[in-house]
Amino acid sequence: MSLRVLILGSGGREHALAWRLSRSDLVQSIYVCPGNGGTSREAKTSNIDLPASDFPALIDFAIKNDISLVLPGPEQPLVDGVEAHFRKVGIPVFGPTALAARMEGSKAFSKAFMARHSIPTAQFRVFAASQFDEAVQYVKTCGFRVVLKASGLAGGKGVLIPESTDAAIAGLRELMVESVFGDAGSEVVVEELLEGPEVSVLAFADGYTITPLPAAQDHKRIGEGDTGPNTGGMGAYAPAPVATPAVMEQIMKETLQPTISGMRKEGFPFVGMLFTGFMLTPSGPKVLEYNVRFGDPETEALMLLLSDDTDLAAVLLACVERRLDAVDVKTRAGSAVSVVLASHGYPGSYPKGKPITTGDLPPGVFAFHAGTVQEGEATVTAGGRVIAVSAYAPTLREALDLVYAGVERVSFEGKTFRRDIAHRALQNEQAAPGLTYAQAGVSVDAGNSLVEAIKPLVRATRRPGADAEIGGFGGVFDLKAVGYTDPVLVSGTDGVGTKLRVAMDAGIHDSVGVDLVAMSVNDLLVQGAEPLYFLDYYACSKLDVPVAAEVIKGIARGCQEANCALIGGETAEMPGMYQEGDYDLAGFAVGAVERSLILPRADIRAGDVLLGVSSSGVHSNGFSLVRKIVALSGLSYTSQCPWNDGTTLGRALLEPTRIYVKSVLPAARAGLIKGMSHITGGGFTENIPRDATLMHPHGSCRPYSAS
């Protein structure tokens, strides 16, 4: 086979791809459009003086030159639909369709996709540019620090990380009102700020199979120590030590395969290079963004990691022919590093036309050109990022020594580069090997993040006697402020039972907190008591902050319905005690009743009226039986509910337990009720006898009609 490959682009990424493809026995010739001052120096490679955006001219060139494979480098041609143009003339493209390229072209689209397929990512909301006031309100009430993202392509500059709520509102104004990023800001994603180390995972995909390369770490800031403005990337290294085999397995299971499967099932299968940015949070890897092409400068390092017997051309061809599982993608042990040499002033304005001289590079070191052009015999600067110097070695330290030796051999006026590429990995190497809580599976930071996230929810439950502030050693309630004259305290504790299993299996966590409150406060109500305050206990193996926050949001909602304050709680992260993703709940409620109004009363007589107050559904008992029925029916919790076409079975079963405080307590305080029974597990036969006075030896029970 003699492949003739057309590469679109002019950066260091395109040079690295041309270099790697030139080593393939399958490749006869390579054309880079428009290329740079270094691409045409590679074997089999020529530059083509055509803009990568002129699709008709590219098609004409491809037909006349018998091109057999097209490889777009940057994202813009893919988002603009270059794949369809070549497909119409029978030329395959290693890259997604315009529909699939929306995963990078629209952050709003990709976040909605992640939500539909339960792919771990930050909590978020999407706002149209016209919804400025709604976005401001969300920022004020969401309970976490936010990141603001222009949904469309903004040249890598459309992300703002405000330090405060005021700064976030100012950022929203820039994006939505002042339109500083133009059409890219027609929609704005407001999402939770995630914390942890970042990694980039580049993976070959054919629509069915996805094969990742080792995780890399990029360095976006211009200055050492990750200071200064963001850039397109000042260097990268791979593999990133933080992306352990266990982390990569989790990424594959929870994100990469669900992404490829989900895109295919939704009708836009992904073929090409899926480049996913992750934040390794205390609760696991979460997606920051998708890109639909090779990364830069990650590619300049990763191409050096491919094993000698891995033919890049064969891999690309297998992807476009939907048979990626038929080829092996192998990488060699060791490390690869790329260091970007930039023009003085980058990422701001910078001069061009500065002559570049390159001495003999050490063995294993390569200079991949980016912002360069050839002017006669001279190579001169023509962009912000000028050259990526890359090196491979058996260890990271050796690779760094080699790459910086190579950096010294490249000279041009104003050469700017970072001297601390891979500093995170080196810090980890130098760290003492002692064990930490985090290494044992317990994240103190995640717990603190949860507390900050739920504080606004808890404050919303304020009532006389409690300010509902959390974070201390104990909750405080001022009985004097409530106004009782001769009070008796009543307390109760309960859980939610196996209804939790339904919530976890259905992925719906915002209602079981209401159940938790209801099960305890309804027990207080039976004795005529007004619920005053509530505490919760949340236990898990590994704390997932967004899930826990959803649960506690439900608890706060239940407390508001019951008019009791949420004054404290406990979050217990206990690795090894629970299955991954599982959690358990317990609740504790305290109420008060005037001594003279304690129920049941002793004057229950035959002829008294027995009233039943309706439930909202199954409530929180009997779910072991409910789950068995669902299993035997062949339905899933995502199936359409058989008795309500407007919802899923899971959502219907998770209808929260009714809280009877507002409907029943006024009657109890007025002395109109002699006794009550809370019908929970055991039904009538076991719960009514718990109020012995209701079982009058001479009484009878018959239907009662108000008419």
Residue 691 has pLDDT above 70, yes or no: no
DSSP-derived 3-state class of residue 643: coil
Architecture of domain 444-694: 2-Layer Sandwich (3.30)
pLDDT band at 707 (very low <50, low <70, confident <90, very high): very low
User: What pLDDT sits at residue 387?
Assistant: 98
Topology (CATH) of 122-429: D-amino Acid Aminotransferase; Chain A, domain 1 (3.30.470)
DSSP-derived 3-state class of residue 311: coil
The token pair that represents 22 in the structure block: 């030139």
User: What pLDDT sits at residue 705?
Assistant: 45
In 3D space, the residue among 99, 187, 102 whose CA is nearest the CA of residue 149 turns out to be 187
Look-up of token digits 């499967």: 261
The token pair that represents 506 in the structure block: 């259905």
Bridge partners, residue 238, by sequence: 336
Residue 157 has pLDDT above 90, yes or no: no
Residue 72 has pLDDT above 70, yes or no: yes
Topology (CATH) of 3-87: Rossmann fold (3.40.50)
Q: Please state the rounded mean pLDDT for residues 370-383.
A: 95
| Residue with more model confidence, 85 or 479 | 85
* Residue % of the chain over a pLDDT of 70: 92
Whole-prediction pTM:
0.65
Cα 705-706-707 angle, rounded to 5 deg = 90
Residue 437 has pLDDT above 80, yes or no: no
pLDDT band at 394 (very low <50, low <70, confident <90, very high): very high
Interval 256-307: pLDDT, tens? 999 999 999 999 999 999 999 999 988 889 999 999 999 999 999 999 999 9
Residue 531 has pLDDT above 90, yes or no: yes
Bridge partners, residue 463, by sequence: 466
In 3D space, the residue among 189, 203, 127 whose CA is nearest the CA of residue 154 turns out to be 189
User: What pLDDT sits at residue 611?
Assistant: 84
Q: Please state the rounded mean pLDDT for residues 394-417.
A: 96
DSSP characters for 594-641?
A: EGGG-SS-S---TT-----PPPSSSTTS-HHHHHHHHHHHT--TTSEE
Domain boundaries, the chain: 3-87, 122-429, 444-694
How far apart, in whole angstroms, are the C-alpha atoms of residue 277 and residue 88?
32
Interval 632-680: pLDDT, tens? 888 888 888 998 888 899 899 999 999 999 999 999 899 898 888 877 7
How far apart, in whole angstroms, are the C-alpha atoms of residue 662 and residue 9?
67
Q: Please state the rounded mean pLDDT for residues 598-608.
A: 86
Name the DSSP class of 360: P
User: What is the sign, positive or negative, of the torsion defined by CA atoms of 462, 467, 471, 473?
Assistant: negative
Interval 415-434: pLDDT, tens? 999 999 998 888 766 544 55
How far apart, in whole angstroms, are the C-alpha atoms of residue 320 and residue 328?
15
Look-up of token digits 């997932």: 544
What's the length of the chain? 707
Contact 367, 357 (CB under 8 A): no
How far apart, in whole angstroms, are the C-alpha atoms of residue 204 and residue 210?
6
How far apart, in whole angstroms, are the C-alpha atoms of residue 142 and residue 127?
14
How far apart, in whole angstroms, are the C-alpha atoms of residue 234 and residue 342?
8
Angle in degrees, 0-180, between the axes of helices 396-408 and 423-430, rounded to the nearest 10? 140
Least confident piece of the model among 146-155, 273-282, 469-478, 671-680: 469-478
* Residue % of the chain over a pLDDT of 90: 67
Cα 433-437-440 angle, rounded to 5 deg = 80
Angle in degrees, 0-180, between the axes of helices 661-669 and 512-525, rounded to the nearest 10? 10
Least confident piece of the model among 258-262, 266-270, 324-328, 690-694: 690-694
How far apart, in whole angstroms, are the C-alpha atoms of residue 33 and residue 40?
10
User: What pLDDT sits at residue 657?
Assistant: 93
